[in-house]
A = this chain, B = another copy of it.
């Protein structure tokens, strides 16, 4: 369990003098830029970055143009960091949502505030673990991927219009996306829609959805076109997919079972 012991949200500031504290500090920059200086190292950050400072690490913070930061101090987070680190929120802003909620609940007197704060503490630490590893995708590829996942359900979503709205050439973006994710943005969108449709088909018995409902829910206005694409990708028509998958799952668990038995026999 994370214990959030202090939360502060600063107006525009230019300097915080050198200090240290017993708790972990998580600093989300909501405006401007700045540089944290530690003994023998420094981290420069910009809007959307989070700087994590382990306990008892002296630090100062300065900026020419100024910054607005949210500070969250936590005891006993599940983190193994030894040195200060920086991670960046992505275009979904999930980390900003979490920091904003923490700001609210820390100073509200609503029910369940302690439980909520503790869960948000876990959430922030989990995002740190997710984002801390070396970024394997460019920020712009991640942004395109996020936009696709946010809009796959919209039959009127125009991926081309979105790509052309970005400050890079259309061809460069297509190639960069393909290089990093193995498929073009358009193929990625279609694959994602079909993948989500496949899950929905398996769930259809429980949800009362028809194949036309599911096609629409995954951004296909024309159920016939959907069925054609689906069959091409999964080898069976949408209406047979749940049964085919169950058979494949059964086969797999039988195989997994025999592997286990073999290992136990060995």
Q: Mark A residues whose CB is within 8 Å of B.
A: 6, 8-11, 13, 16-23, 60, 71, 73, 92, 94, 97, 101, 103-104, 107-108, 110-113, 115-116, 119-120, 122-123, 126-127, 129-130, 133, 145-146, 149-150, 152-155, 192, 195-196, 199-200, 203, 205-209, 213, 216-217, 219
Q: Is the CB of A130 within 8 A of B112?
A: yes
Q: A93 to nearest B CB, angstroms? A: 9
A206 / chain B contacts, CB cutoff of 8 Å:
19-23
A116 / chain B contacts, CB cutoff of 8 Å:
123, 126-127, 130
Q: Which 5 A-B pairs have the closest CB atoms?
A: A21-B206, A19-B208, A112-B130, A97-B97, A17-B208
A205 / chain B contacts, CB cutoff of 8 Å:
19
Partner of A10, one of B92, B152, B192, B217: B217
A207 / chain B contacts, CB cutoff of 8 Å:
6, 8, 16, 19, 21, 71
